[in-house]
Structures are given as structure tokens and as C-alpha cells.
Amino acid sequence: MPEEKRGLWADRKRRTAVLGATGAIVVIAALIIGFIAFRSGANDDRPTVSNKRAPAAGPTTTTLPPGVSLVAQATGPAIAVFSAPDAPVPAMTLPNPWLLNGEADKAIPQAFLVEEQRPDGWIRVLLPERPNGSSGWIRQTDVKLTPNPNRIEVNLGEHKIRVFDRTEVRYEGEVAIGKPSTPTPTGKYYIRVLIQAINPNEVYGPFAYGLSAHSEVLTEFNGGDGETGVHGNNDKSVLGKSVTAGCIRMDNEEITRLSKILPLGTPVEIVS
């Protein structure tokens, strides 16, 4: 979209942070845009691997009903992410919460979408890192697992978004997607953060979901890392067209309704 000149997380002075989606709510005053988050994290600690920890009780990816996924919420001040369960040291250690724009008053807790569970207490999760589709292993004892019956599917060829409750379609509508020079990246992602605009007439509409996805064309977007999101719009006529910088625009009333329903960690599958 031609007027889409700010990155989802780039403008530091125009934001408020709100902690939510089945959790407590914390509002941090700013000027224009706000964040709603579930959990997040990073630290400099480098704990060693221990395969002797007993996994916490709870649902598993093999016992979930159709259409239900697992969200892993970090519970400690940091979470170690390993390249494999037998790796001697973490590939990265993420703080929990992570700081939006590095600002101490904008602490965002961390959530991951669970891809795989092992009986020895290790979990493979999607990561909000480049390249798209990156995953890593975390210990089940470091997170709280929560079943989530919600998921989103975006069909680029149809210019349609579908929101599911388990296997039932809860909403279907037209969307605007990336133009040929800045296409919307396909793949499986998850909702990382929810942004609420104080001025709903801005380019993002009243709400924007920031995804774990990144543009495969734009490595930098006004100070940000070319993140991709699902958001409202200030021009309903673009719905059904390929005009954006890679983000997915949808109906303002519907994203407002969904902002009260979809937790962070919700799967988002973008197909061609």
C-alpha cells in the first residue's frame, strides 16, 4: 500500500503497550499505537542441557483435538532455545519479557507456537526470527502450555482470510495483500503481538496483529526488520487487491472483533 510508510514496530514515540489475550492488562501511555502481548523473552544466561527434568503435566500435540494448537508461554526471566535437544549450549537465550524498542517501560511477555513435543520434556517451537519458518527446542519446564482453538488462514490467490474455531469457520472476508514487488510471504507463522491504534483512521486501522513472519524482499522497513502483519485499513476499497508492502489488510470491524478473541501464539498459515 503506497501510504504504508512505517514499520509495525518502528515508530518508538507513537505507542502504548498492553499485556493481554487471556492475561492481565497493562497500559503504557504513548501517542498513537499500542501493543497487546501474551509472553516473550531473552537473557545472557547460557544454561546447560539436562535431559533428566520431568516434563510438566498437560496436553500434548498428539492428544489435541482437530484444529487445536498449543501456545508455550515463557514462565521465567529468560528462556534458552537450543538447535537440538542434545545441543550442549543454547543457540540463543531470549529475555522474558522482551523490551519493545529496547524501552524498559514497554516490556512484552513471550509466547511461541508449539510444533512438536517429545516425551523427554523437549518442545520444538516456531521462532520470530529470520529466515521465515525458523524453529528451536525449549524445555517444557520453562513454559506454560495452553491449548488454543483458534487459527487463521490467508489465501493469497483468493485474497481471502478465514478465521477458524477448531474446524469451524468463524469469519471469512476479503483482504488486501502484498503487491508483486513486495509480496506477502507464504508459510506457517503465529501472532506475536497485537497493536491498537489510538487513531483508528491511520493506515493500520484500529488494530494490527504483528506476526512472526518477515518480508523476504524488505530486510529493513523504516528502522524495523521488515515484519509482516495482519491489520485494518484506512481505505476499504483496497480489499481484494494486491497493493501493500507485504502486510495483510482486512475489514476494520472484523479485526476489532477478533482483537477480543485471538490470543498471541495463534497459528497463521499464509498459502498461495
pLDDT at 99: 75
pLDDT at 197: 87
Q: What are the helix (H) ranges across the chain?
A: 252-258
Instruction: Please name which of 219, 222, 211 lies closest in space to residue 186, comparing C-alpha atoms.
Output: 211
Sign of the alpha-carbon torsion through 242, 11, 233, 167? positive
Q: What is the pLDDT of residues 4-31, one digit of tens each?
A: 434 444 443 343 434 333 332 222 223 2
The arithmetic mean of pLDDT across residues 255-264, rounded, is 96
Q: What is the pLDDT of residues 90-105, one digit of tens each?
A: 999 999 987 766 778 7
One domain, residues 125 and 170: no
End residue of a domain, out of 116, 148, 180: 148
Bridge partners, residue 107, by sequence:
99
Bridge partners, residue 208, by sequence:
195, 231
The arithmetic mean of pLDDT across residues 156-180, rounded, is 98
One domain, residues 79 and 160: no
pLDDT band at 262 (very low <50, low <70, confident <90, very high): very high
What is the percent of the chain with per-residue pLDDT over 90, rounded to a whole number? 64
- Kindly list the catalytic residues: 231, 247
Tell me which range, 1-10, 34-43, 62-71, is most confidently predicted by mean pLDDT: 62-71
Q: What distance lies between CA 91 and its chain's CA centroid?
A: 21
Q: What is the pLDDT of residues 198-243, one digit of tens each?
A: 899 989 999 999 899 999 998 766 656 788 999 999 999 999 999 9
Tell me which range, 53-67, 106-120, 241-255, is most confidently predicted by mean pLDDT: 241-255
* Within-domain flag for 195: yes
Range of the domain at 244: 150-271
End residue of a domain, out of 93, 120, 148: 148
* Within-domain flag for 34: no
Which position has the grid cell 498513537? 32
The arithmetic mean of pLDDT across residues 107-121, rounded, is 92
The CATH number covering residue 218 comes to: 2.40.440.10
* Within-domain flag for 266: yes
* Within-domain flag for 77: yes
pLDDT at 58: 65
Rounded (10°) CA dihedral 81, 40, 156, 200: -170
Which position has the grid cell 478473541? 261
* Within-domain flag for 211: yes
- Structural contact between residues 137 and 251, judged by C-beta atoms closer than 8 angstroms: no
One domain, residues 137 and 156: no
Instruction: Look at residue 51 and tell me whether its pLDDT is greater than 50.
Output: no
One domain, residues 100 and 196: no
* Within-domain flag for 120: yes
Q: Residues, the chain, total?
A: 272
One domain, residues 87 and 183: no
One domain, residues 157 and 99: no
One domain, residues 98 and 189: no
Instruction: Look at residue 54 and tell me whether its pLDDT is greater than 70.
Output: no
pLDDT at 104: 86
The arithmetic mean of pLDDT across residues 180-207, rounded, is 93
Is residue 14 classed as helix, strand or coil in its secondary structure? helix
pLDDT band at 251 (very low <50, low <70, confident <90, very high): very high
One domain, residues 116 and 199: no
One domain, residues 52 and 132: yes
> What is the chain's mean pLDDT, rounded?
81
* Within-domain flag for 10: no
Q: How many helices (H) and strands (E) does the chain have?
A: 1, 22
End residue of a domain, out of 129, 148, 167: 148
One domain, residues 257 and 154: yes
* Within-domain flag for 24: no
For 133, phi then psi, to 5°, come to 90, 5
One domain, residues 181 and 127: no
Instruction: Look at residue 47 and tell me whether its pLDDT is greater than 50.
Output: no
Rounded (10°) CA dihedral 76, 82, 88, 89: -60
One domain, residues 180 and 262: yes
Instruction: Please name which of 61, 127, 120, 63 lies closest in space to residue 93, comparing C-alpha atoms.
Output: 127
pLDDT at 53: 40
pLDDT at 101: 66
Distance of alpha carbon 191 from alpha carbon 268, whole angstroms: 7
Which position has the grid cell 525458523? 134
Instruction: State how many domains the chain has.
Output: 2
